[in-house]
Amino acid sequence: MLAVRASAARSASRLTRNFATVVDAAGVKVAAVDNGEPTSSVTFLFKAGSRFENKPGVAHALQNFAYKSTTKRSALATVREAELYGGVLSSSLSREYLALTAEFLRGDEPYFVDVLSSFVTDAKFTRHELQEYVAPVCAAESTVAASNPATRALELAHAIAFRNGLGASIFASEHSHVDVETIKAYASSVFGKSNLAVIGTGISQDALTKLLEKSLGSLSANAAPPSSPTSYFGGETRVDAHSGPQTVFIGFGTTGAPSAELAVLAAHLSPQPSVKWSEGLSPIAASIPKGASVQAIYLPYSDASLFGLLVQGATAEEVKIAGKAAVSALKEVGNIKAEDVKKAVAKAKFSAASTLDGRSSLASVLGSKLLSGPSASVEGIISSIEKVDASALSSAVSSLIKAKPTYVTVGDIKSLPYADELGL
């Protein structure tokens, strides 16, 4: 038993020994690991999420402007050349980070690192590209997000819980227009050397460092854009929606660095079974009616976390029953048995370790560690989860529930329950 448990932390430390974190000569933090895969990837991670935007929707527009014309090559040339090389260019936006990722075959790194760097250093941001390519994509993504009740509930939950900063929505508003000058100004403020972490997989540290020194020489040494520390407020809101399942989000927030106790709590309550078609061992699983579903959601950010249960169902009655079961299970965690804590710790450890497997999630985990401080320790995540015991968990839950809940309902607001009807 002990041997099995220790090996997870050992392989994580092996992973970190492969990563040598170096402050690049160009002033950029670089980490690379090479496990001999046939393809490589390079990710540029900027602290340019929706938290740092100065006007609503700019971060979303900047994310969709990725890989459009630069002074070196046009948008068409970028696409065609990347296709001829056989590579994938993507950009993703979260509340705190903007990630530009290139995945390619081994040996093509000069071209793809150059593509990423030239967007960062001299993108053109032309008005016609915004009008013809970027704005329609932003509008489409925002429309899709608004029609999905789960996404809508989470965006509203962040807005209620954290107000400004983390509360800003990832998606631009469907009908607002950001103009190129705003995007250009935002890009020049967030694209800076001290705001950038470069993570490479399947590529050696020296090769990546050399390429970056060559191409990022002209990048300004901007620091991260200013952001006030997050505070948690909480509240309740009800939104009418006519498509999709009835949705209720019951959330609680904490400020401060993310704690392992909430990760273990999410693993304990999550009805997602480890074996397909089984009911699973979550305390909620048995009491959920047939058409309803409950998801445990844990969203850690650099200085706050949002923990919640997303309850969805075909009718409002099912949602009410499932919501009551979820809230009572959450309150019961104060009397949790030691064996259940062990199960939850194992489940949380596995999900934390498996994020280090995937390329994109590894890049975001490692990049956030690199950008937050000089001592980046990936194995600390798993060892801190191992240390959680029943008393730590129950004290974390009691302090969580004491704060004002964040309660969002999306759907038929005449029939969906209010917060006090569920026992909050």
The site for another protein (CB under 8 A) is made up of 74, 76-77, 80, 84, 127-128, 131-132
Identify which of residues 180 and 306 has a Cβ nearer to another protein in the complex. 180
Identify which of residues 5 and 124 has a Cβ nearer to another protein in the complex. 124
Largest CA distance in the chain: 63
Q: Quick count: other Cβ atoms within 10 Å of Cβ 298?
A: 19
Identify which of residues 92 and 126 has a Cβ nearer to another protein in the complex. 126
We find the least distance from the C-beta atom of residue 70 to another protein, in angstroms, to be 14
We find the least distance from the C-beta atom of residue 131 to another protein, in angstroms, to be 8
We find the least distance from the C-beta atom of residue 80 to another protein, in angstroms, to be 5
We find the least distance from the C-beta atom of residue 116 to another protein, in angstroms, to be 21
Helices (H), 148-277: 149-162, 180-190, 205-215, 260-269
We find the least distance from the C-beta atom of residue 107 to another protein, in angstroms, to be 9
Identify which of residues 122 and 386 has a Cβ nearer to another protein in the complex. 122
For residue 7, what are its two tokens? 């090996």
In order of 43, 101, 332, the CA distances from 205 in angstroms are 13, 17, 49
We find the least distance from the C-beta atom of residue 275 to another protein, in angstroms, to be 47
In order of 16, 18, 20, 200, 386, the CA distances from 10 in angstroms are 10, 13, 17, 22, 13
We find the least distance from the C-beta atom of residue 71 to another protein, in angstroms, to be 14
Cα–Cα dist 390/341, whole Å: 6
Q: Which residue type occupies 322? A: A
For residue 299, what are its two tokens? 């969203």
Distance of CA 311 to the CA centre of its chain: 20
Cα–Cα dist 125/122, whole Å: 9
Identify which of residues 76 and 314 has a Cβ nearer to another protein in the complex. 76
Identify which of residues 179 and 303 has a Cβ nearer to another protein in the complex. 179
Q: Cβ(102)–Cβ(359) under 8 Å? A: no
Q: Quick count: other Cβ atoms within 10 Å of Cβ 281?
A: 15
Identify which of residues 1 and 84 has a Cβ nearer to another protein in the complex. 84
For residue 43, what are its two tokens? 């990710």
Beta bridge partners of 32: 200
